Amino acid sequence: MLRLIESGRNGPVKPTTIRESVTSYLDDRFQCDERGLAGLDRWSMERIRRENRAKAELVEESRDPVGHCYQNLIREIDAEAQMGIFLPDHALQAARLRWLNGEPGVTGRLDLDVPRIAPTLFADEARRSGHDLDLVWITIHARFDRAHIEAETSELILMHLSASEDDAADTADELREVFYAYHEERIRRRDHQGGPRSRSSRTGSVEAEVHRLDEGRGCA
């Protein structure tokens, strides 16, 4: 779970600004991430830093910072889930996403279907890939990593704006539950498969589910 409070040499330390939190988080990911982010070139790292600091500035300047940040989080977790459903070991089993296994509509088994659906969902990459679909998997991992970074920086910003850090974490968890289930079901329906029905389908649409979360947090 993301936290604003970190252990410092003289005890717990809380970053004083939103941008300080974002910069600290990104620096840590670039230095310690074992999934490939540490291997980015210096220019790419700096571009990601600039874009996320700019995002923080826009939130701070907004008339409704919480609502602005929440809309960012919705968009970013949506993008994360579109790739994360294919990465059970990389995403669903990660520390922040492990709880998703067993949730309605989230099987963590769509990676087994990638060889069959890649020519449709990742047509260009599949055509240029070898038998192991190397470019398809590189694309999935890269898109997931970028969307996940964006979502976590928005969650950190929301922690600064919320009364409790847990409020921001709960919001992100609920959005992931909705979008991971929604996108898995979307893939299965497109492929004419069965599989568990997600909560979003039972209420009619993912838009209805997100709107419910909006109303619960006063962001509608």
CA–CA distance, 85 with 109 (Å, rounded to integer): 8
pLDDT value of residue 17: 81
pLDDT of residue 5: 41
Q: Residue 128: what pLDDT?
A: 93
> What are the Cα distances from residue 184, in Å, to 33, 158, 201?
26, 27, 11
Q: How far apart are CA 150 and CA 26, in angstroms?
A: 10
pLDDT in tens, the chain (220 residues): 455 544 444 444 445 688 888 988 898 888 876 556 667 788 988 999 999 999 999 998 989 999 999 999 999 999 999 999 998 766 555 546 666 666 667 777 888 899 999 999 999 999 999 889 999 999 998 899 889 899 999 999 999 888 777 888 888 988 988 898 899 888 888 766 544 554 444 445 566 666 555 555 554 4
Asked if residues 109 and 88 have their Cβ atoms less than 8 Å apart, the reply is yes
Q: Please tell me the predicted confidence (pLDDT) of residue 34.
A: 59
Nearest CA to 13 among 26, 3, 23, 22?
Answer: 3
Structure tokens at 198: 């997600």
pTM, whole model, 2 decimals? 0.79
pLDDT at 189 (0 to 100): 83
Instruction: List all residues 6 or more positions away from 140 whose beta carbon is below 8 Å from its beta carbon.
Output: 83, 86, 87, 114, 122
What residues does each domain of the chain span? 12-216
Alpha-carbon distance 82 to 111, whole Å? 12
